[in-house]
Structure 1
Amino acid sequence: MSSQPDHAPTTISVVQKRPTPDSEPGAPQYPIDSVDNALKLLLLLGERPEVRLTEASAHLGVATSTAHRILAMLTWRGFMRQDPKTKAYMPGPALTTVAFSVMRRIGDVPRAAEPILKEVSLKLGETCHIGLLEGNQVRFLAVAEPDTAVRVASRVGRLMPAHATSTGKVLLAGLTQEQLHTLYPQEQLEGVTSHSLLLRSQLEEQLRQVRRDGYATNREESEDGVASVAVALATASGLKLAVNASAPIHRLPPAKIDSFGQILHTAALRLANILG
């Protein structure tokens, strides 16, 4: 007669957790897991129309009870709301208020900046943009173009690597080293042209020069045959904005950079006063 085991085999359930903040490049020195998990759920909500408890638990790699507590806190603060029928979580009023507030401020920039951009473009005879720093990229929001046959084309609406543009570099210069390393956790950088910076250490060296000069330059780093100068706006809104002038490289030799920088600096002060 065969013997039967006294106990059924024990099944061990292993939860595969996502990397913790302190294991990721550029993470803060003293991460708070609960805050990080709440932010991860908000980012997840940006990718899909709704999030269920089981999805939140799996996404964070935590028990459903832990995910439920985080969702409850986000709901209490208005960043999420729960459908009473399906029990799924959706964007709450606080989250949409923040999103609309940011988008409204961004949407106000082209209208408010237009007169000054046109004035600077006329004075320099070159294309002028306002750009916004979005992570490690720059989005161009507004443009004024000169009435010349040969000019730099509008970049409005385009996203470009920040380290390859004067607008991006002047805004990156306002970050701390920790913030910069969060955006660029690796030494290697993306090349856009043969003149682009390819190392973070090279970028950091240029940013030190930008802080001394008060403006940033770009010579064929984002587009062959194009040079530019940019100055940051000191706005109270929290938006990281800069104004630039770009030109065919033969029309912006090194000898003209300082004068471009001075005109853009005056424009940046006026724009900052208008945009707040």
Structure 2
Amino acid sequence: MDFGVGYFPTHNAMAPGELARLVEQRGHAAVFFAEHTHIPASRETPYQDGHRELPQRYWHTYDLFVALTAAAAATSRLRIGSGICLVIERDPIITAKEVASIDQLSGGRFEFGVGAGWNREEMRNHGTDPRVRMSVLRERVEAMRAIWSQDEASYHGKYVNFDRIWSWPKPVQQPAPPVLVGGTGPGVLDRVLTFGDAWFPNYEEGIFERIRELRARAERPVGVQVLSAPADPAVLRRLHDAGVQRASRWIPSGPRSVVERALDEWEQAIAEFAGEGP
């Protein structure tokens, strides 16, 4: 099992390229950037349990693919990814071009975390009916896979429909960069098995039983990565023993001093898990 970090790349904190370079220098395997194009000011959809204020970082992030480009240019080994890309708010042909471009510019280091998100007003502002968001997500990912892997791609679905197109560059990673399906809802394993290469949940106690279910149902190799892992060596041991390929932890958006303190805490837990700590 290797390790990574998640980060909201905000304009008033450590810049995405500088952050990615630091993460690479400190020996981590991957960095994942969050995405929100905006947050509706109405705040009708509750955040988490509805008792917490939504942190301002949610509406202060750079554009996801601009941040990823900066991270790719600043590093040479680090895997860079979306954690997660809100595909239901994006045109699939444009997003396919952006993913392929990042994968080319990074030398094949991109990992495509995808999901539908949680903010229903945000979805509606992009023209997506929340009631059909999971079907939209599936079709857009399938359409992008066709664009990445075919010289002359077509796709005909209920929500995505286009005749033969040409689109280059193609990703370095063929037939596609790894598609990591985020979420912990009741149907997420179905989505992973339908169009994903790996499950990419936030950490919660119930994921271990669901990892076993995923393994039992899969008829092909399917990976598991965990986002928002706690800085707890005992939890890291359980994740490792469950066959999780990568554990990543969100670190706060802020100046370098704040980021380094968070990385110190995360790395201490990793060292203790690996038997190197006190």
Tell me if TM exceeds 0.5: no
Determine which structure has more spread, i.e. the larger CA radius of gyration. 1
- Greater fraction of residues in helix: 1
Interval of TM-score (by shorter of Structure 1 and Structure 2): under 0.3
Work out which structure has the larger RCO, using CA pairs closer than 8 Å and 6 or more positions apart in sequence.
2
